[in-house]
Chains A and B, each alone.
Chain A
Amino acid sequence: MANYLAQFQSIKSACDHIVISVEDVSDLWPTVKNAFEERLPFKRAILNNKTRNPVLVDKFPAEFILTTDARLRSRFPQEQLLFWFREPYASIVLVTCEDLDEFKTILKPRLKLIVQNDEREWFIVFVSKAHPNNDQAIKMAKKVYARLEVDFSSKKRERCCKLDIHGPEPNFWEDLEIKIIESIRNTLDKRVQFYEDELRKLSELRFMPIWNFCNFFILKESLAFMFEMAHLHEDALREYDELELCYLETVNMTGKHREFGGVENGDEEAALLNFENKPLTQIVQDDSFREFEFRQYLFACQSKLLFKLNRPFEVAARGYTFVISFSKALTQHENILPFCMREVWIITACLALISGTYSNYNEGLAAPDIEKEFYRLLGDLYSLCRVKFMRLAYIIGYGSDIERSPINSASLSMLPWPKPSVWPSVPPDASSEVLAKEKLILQATPRVKHFCILRKPLPLEPSVLLREANRRRASLSAGNTFEMFDGRSAIDGSGSDAPLRMSSLNKAQTISMSRTNSSPGFDGSIDRPMRLAEIFVASEHALRQTISNPNLWKSLSSVEEFEQKYLELTKGAADNYHRSWWKRHGVVLDGEIAAVFFKHGNFDLAAKSYEKVCALYSGEGWQDLLAEVLPNLAECQKILNDQAGYLSSCVRLLSLDKGLFSIKERQAFQSEVVSIAHSEMEHPVPLDVSSLITFSGNPGPPLVLCDGDPGTLSVTVWSGFPDDITLDSLSLTLAATYNADEGAKALKSSFATVLKPGRNTITVDLPPQKPGSYVLGVLTGQIGQLRFRSHSFSKVGPADSDDFMSYEKPTRPILKVFNPRPLVDLAAATSSPLLINEAQWIGIIVRPIDYSLKSAVLHIDTGPGLTIEESHVIEMESYIEVSQRPGDIANSNSALNDCSLADNKDFERLSLHDGRIQLPDWASNVTSILWIPVSAIDNNLARGSSTVNPQRQSIVDGMRTIALKLEFGVSHNQIFDRTIAVHFTDPFHVSTRVADKCNDGTLLLQVILHSEVKATLNIFDAWLDLQDGFVHTGKGDGRPISGFFPLIVSPTSRAGILFSICLGNTTAEVEDVAVQPESLLNIRYGISGDRTAGAHPPVTAESNGSEGARQDLIFRSTLVLQQPVLDPSLAVGFLPLPSDGLRVGQLINMNWRVERLKEFDQNKDSLCNDEVLYEVNANSDNWMIAGRKRGHVSLPTEQGSLSLLFAYTFHLTEYLVAFCHHKVFHIPHFCGVLIIFFIVTGSRIVISVLCVPLVAGYVRPPQLGLPDIDQANISCNPPGPHLICVLPPALSSSFCIPA
């Protein structure tokens, strides 16, 4: 059957569509041919696929062929069966007949003969030639057609249709089409069934020795081809897939040695999209095919179908897999294939796939993800192609022009060398080429990276090419020599074929040595190991043999051509990756493109691409990779004079992991930055050094300041520079955390700062800030001309190199400025009064409220009446409030005095300068008490008062103020003002009373001493200097007996002293002195009090030294003793009322008799000698008083003188004028009758007032008062009645009392 292969191929190429045979019985074809062929291709056809499911096929092509045609006639029956797919799928019988008889006799038997072959799908087209006007003919045609239908159509199937040439027959063509398609469908189904049966039979024999793949192939491909003809591409593809599977399954199974193929010239050019590359007859081998060609053929068939199905992306996907798997197959057979055949094949295959799929691809047709996938595959193909291309280039000596980047290293160093059975040897006439190559090798100088970065170049070789090539040479039996040689080459540095970089000179020496050191018995001329240059030349020659494609060879012919192709491939890969999901691949390849640009001086483009790569790596924190690319970018930027970019690249380099660069390299980065910073910068740009210089507040709680305080802020700055760096200025901004609109405030540290590598602590002066909490904002500064800023906070350590992903960092407040609050309190230590006129300690409690009073200054300004005892020092001691020491309360009795003093209290003496005191340091944080010696001056003597008329001294008199101003805070910016009121008082308040009056005129004067202070007073002595008119009884000076003393007066208690005095004149000596109007009480006393409690012994120089020393103080108080009033001066008597009782409305004369008993001695100034003021008080509800209620009456001082009594009655309009001792009394008018009697008899006068009682009952009568005269001087005897009885008015009364 394999013999039919050639025929099969020719048949396949000859027909590519379905054939419909036309049996032209009545020679009608020429007439209808055009009309028939116009229907082609059929607009739509519904066919069944292999699984018998209907499939819609658009534009179904077919061809009408007459049965008389040579193509259909000259076939052998066996062929017909084998190549059944080319047989007609439908038969149309074209007939016409105008006569029924003719039909019956001639046509019908002939038709029966034609259609008796049941294999075929046939139907009859009856063509009616009848003219529309010819009714007869039409009728006949109808008749014949009817007859035809009866004879040939069955109920199951219509097999007839009628075409009216002259008449409109709109349904005919549709009918025809349906019939044709139906026939085709039936035929197809039948044939598919047939092929399937055959194939099943064959494939069951698949594992038998008699298996013949060719037979299977012909059947399978026939089926596939049939599907393809029927436009059932999907099914055709499936057949090819199955065919491939079956092939792969069986190709190596039989154990027969088969040729792989691929050794012919031109085979290296991949034909995986070109199924007509080689006729199958050429690749057939025994009963199967050569793998090399046949697999490509199958793939080409599949891709052809896929392109027809408009699925180029699937071609790409299958293609990539195919290339990879085919490459494996090539590797297996590499020893029989030409040198580097595999690489060349892959290159051409990839390129073919790329161009084939791309040209068949219409953008936007597929779904976006398929599209992306497609581009990714193209990218993969490009990069695969690129890798192989680089490998070829390396082998022929362009290795030094291949960038030793990670991507190239990754793809090349893991790719094994080609493994030809014999490594090609140098052609005899190539010595000049070898020399040239050697020269090239020697000339190639490794490109020194910018900043003198030394890196071991990444390998591009899987192993040493020199060793590999020499090992594979034919006569390589003396392997040891080569090992020795290799060892040497490995020692000399790189272990790779990198003489190109590291040590070309050494290498050359080594090579020359190895040449001279040929070991004995080793014929250098034949089996001498090849040198690298020779390997390159040999490979080049071998490749030239392998590569038939002139374009590909051209690309390898020179370095420039290589670079061009390399760039093309790299760009292709990068572009396609960019369009796919695989952005990283794209960007990395951009970096490779950039390297080429860079090499050719196209720095602008190179920088752009490098920037992309750097952004990719740094964005994801791949620092190792970044460290490889960033220096390149920096170099570009430097060449382009992009200072900003260059600086930022340097900073980025510096901020990379320290392990990635040596210290020297890092120093080089820094010196670049510094030198640019100090040079003239054209466009000074702020440099972001966030990654390099980071800052943070010091650990621990934030600095706390009170409102208005300046401070110094200590900030930790981490420098990532490898050396010290001088910052010409540095400033920090503070940002309020809760007050965004405040903006940041800059704190400047204007002097130059030198940052050491690592941690630095920098202090910045902090001016007073508004209340709030602040975080560090931005660090800015200047290095030379260069302004820089850093935004990054570091926690405690240096900026973490992979901190790129840390989010918004929790910014710890570094500074808290409190709202204004009391920072200190000044208060008086005691509230109880101090001694006046004595030097007293005034205690001022200075209580800092969580605020240091360091170097605080207290201004003291005493108010009037208070002076500071400058002669004494001011004492200061620490103070603990009693309430804060609850434990001490239990034993507070014994330790009352020092309960307020701490055990280890601080004590210091201070002095006052210009009214200011500097507070000591120890007092800056503790509550302390400041004792200031003051004395309040009061020149007035204390006045005693009598118990009869107690007069307390006003507390205001003893009040003094002391104004305090405390300046504190860091720069005395805080001021606290307070005026403290201090109460001073005499130790005693004295009151007197006459305790008793003896019959002999002795008066017992009780002097009551009220202690005014909170201290125990000891009275040692007391005496009384009496005023005129009083003398002490007896001869003594009136002191109490000495045994009486000391008299101890507890705080705020009272004590009394009795003095016995009597009235009498002073002695004659007294007259020399001024008349003493007041008595003076002298008390010698001592005070034992604590200054913390109140009054205390006066401050003396030695007072603190000797506690036992008694300090006697003298207290003086004036006492006013009044002559005792023994007899009233005036007597007032109420004269009896009429005995018949009083009635309402009745006029009554109320009479009081005022009688001067003796002359007044006191109050002479205040009281007129002979006039007495009187006043009548009465309840106006009860009484109506007629007459003057208040007035003066004359009362002669001499007893027994007479006066006149005038009495007038007068009317309303008249005045009563009384002349009495030429005094005129004006008595205002009164609506009634007023009669006043002044009965003056000597020093006696009767005051009568006319009254009318208004209310009945017991009422209080009007009273006569003498306001000017002391009650004590009035004797009311008999006293006036309290109540008098007023009777209701008489019934006949004519008075009308208002209701």
Chain B
Amino acid sequence: MIVCVAVVGHQNNPLYIQSFTEEDDALKLHHIVHCSLDVVDERVNNPKKSGPTLNETFLGLLYPTENYKVYGYLTNTKVKFILVTTDLDVRDADVRNFFRRFHAAYVDAVSNPFHIPGKKITSKTFSERVSAIVKSFGLSSAG
């Protein structure tokens, strides 16, 4: 289950963070997303490590912990997408696909002329779309 998706700006500021847990514990997901920026930074700043995947937007698994997984995605404008999932066996392709759709939704959202770049994304449409993507991710991984 995807528990959280987040958009983090190029200054590492949260632009959009949405948790999908029923409990009122979004803060811990904020923490996870925030800390995962360490990994993103490390990958971006260490070209040696990232190696051939340097030019790839999909950063892959950031955070192999016991209980949840954090995936990252870095757009060309250094906006990061973070995905936290409690599914421990997730197919890479699924995540890639998720991020691709998420990216498209993000691009649509920030193309709104009323959106101020660098500001939080408040669009309801975006959030609905993200929810839909998250839901469909659950379905595809289940099936």
Contact = CB atoms under 8 A, between A and B. Distances in A.
Contact of A414 (B13, B24, B27, B67): B67
Contacts of B86: 414
A407 B34 CA distance: 10
A582 B39 contact: yes
Contacts of B120: 802
Interface stretch (B40-48, B71-79, B100-108, B134-142): B40-48
Contact of B45 (A328, A581, A802): A581
A321 to B, nearest CB: 8
Contacts of A620: 11-14, 34, 37
Contacts of B38: 581-585
Contacts of B124: none
Interface string A402-438: 0000110111011110000000000000000000000
Interface residues of B, number: 35
A406 B32 CA distance: 8
A407 B25 CA distance: 11
B25 A409 contact: yes
Interface in A475-498: 495
B35 A804 contact: no
B22 to A, nearest CB: 10
Contact of B25 (A324, A369, A459): A459
A1056 interface: no
Given A327-B66, A584-B38, A805-B13, A458 B27 contact: yes
A1045 interface: no
Contacts of B118: 802, 805-806
Contacts of A376: 42
Interface string A241-269: 00000000000000000000000000000
A800 B119 contact: yes
B31 interface: yes
Contacts of B30: 406, 622, 624-625
A722 B65 CA distance: 42
Main secondary structure of the interface of A (DSSP, over half): helix
Contacts of A802: 13, 118-120
Given A581-B42, A621-B13, A804-B13, 7 more contacts: A376-B42, A410-B28, A581-B38, A584-B34, A588-B34, A624-B14, A805-B9
Contacts of A583: 38
A-B residue pairs, 10 tightest by C-beta: A406-B31, A621-B13, A410-B28, A582-B38, A409-B28, A581-B42, A414-B67, A620-B12, A805-B11, A406-B27
Given A581-B38, A585-B35, A625 B27 contact: yes
A628 interface: yes
Interface in B104-132: 118-120
Interface in B49-84: 49, 64-68
A584 B63 CA distance: 14
Interface in A360-417: 369, 376, 384, 406-407, 409-411, 413-416
28 contacts: A328-B66, A369-B48, A369-B49, A384-B66, A406-B27, A406-B31, A409-B25, A409-B27, A410-B28, A410-B31, A410-B32, A414-B86, A459-B23, A581-B38, A581-B41, A584-B37, A585-B38, A617-B34, A620-B37, A621-B13, A622-B14, A622-B34, A624-B14, A624-B27, A625-B27, A625-B34, A805-B13, A805-B118
B26 interface: yes
A456 interface: yes
B29 interface: yes
A1167 to B, nearest CB: 104
A458 B9 CA distance: 26
Contacts of A621: 11, 13-14
B66 A415 contact: yes
Contacts of B34: 584, 588, 617, 620, 622, 625
Interface of A: 324, 327-328, 369, 376, 384, 406-407, 409-411, 413-416, 456, 458-459, 495, 581-585, 588, 617, 620-622, 624-625, 628, 800, 802, 804-806
A324 B66 contact: yes
A459 B12 CA distance: 26
A1272 B109 CA distance: 109
B127 to A, nearest CB: 16
A585 B29 CA distance: 14
A456 B65 CA distance: 26
Tell me which of B12, B27, B48, B67 has the highest count of chain A C-beta atoms within 10 A of its own C-beta. B27
Contacts of B66: 324, 327-328, 384, 415
A662 B133 CA distance: 33
Nearest to A584: B38
A585 B34 CA distance: 9
Nearest to A407: B31
A624 B26 CA distance: 9
Contacts of B14: 620-622, 624
A624 B33 CA distance: 12
Contacts of A414: 67-68, 86
A456 B14 CA distance: 23
A328 B28 CA distance: 24
A582 B13 contact: no
Contacts of B13: 620-622, 802, 804-805
A583 B37 CA distance: 10
Nearest to A369: B46
Nearest to B26: A624
A129 B81 CA distance: 83
A328 B65 CA distance: 11
A1023 B67 CA distance: 128
Nearest to B13: A621
A789 B109 CA distance: 37
Contact of A324 (B42, B64, B68): B64
Given A414-B68, A802-B119, A458 B25 contact: yes
A1073 to B, nearest CB: 99
Contacts of A459: 23, 25
Contacts of B9: 805
Contacts of B29: 410
Contacts of A804: 13
Contacts of A588: 31, 34-35
A211 B76 CA distance: 53
Contacts of A584: 34-35, 37-38
A624 B16 CA distance: 12
A385 to B, nearest CB: 12
Contacts of B32: 410
Contacts of B42: 376, 581-582
Given A459-B23, A581-B42, A624-B26, A415 B31 contact: no
A621 B32 CA distance: 15
A568 B28 CA distance: 23
A328 B107 CA distance: 39
B31 to A, nearest CB: 4
Nearest to B33: A622
B73 to A, nearest CB: 18
A409 B34 CA distance: 14
Tell me which of B46, B48, B64, B66 has the highest count of chain A C-beta atoms within 10 A of its own C-beta. B66
A413 B29 CA distance: 11
A882 B49 CA distance: 82
A495 B25 CA distance: 12
Tell me which of B9, B30, B64 has the highest count of chain A C-beta atoms within 10 A of its own C-beta. B30
B64 to A, nearest CB: 7
B125 to A, nearest CB: 21
A1234 B67 CA distance: 149
Contacts of A622: 13-14, 30, 34
A370 B48 CA distance: 11
Contacts of A413: 25, 28
A629 to B, nearest CB: 11
B78 to A, nearest CB: 12
A799 to B, nearest CB: 13
Tell me which of B23, B35, B45, B49 has the highest count of chain A C-beta atoms within 10 A of its own C-beta. B35
Nearest to B68: A414
B114 to A, nearest CB: 13
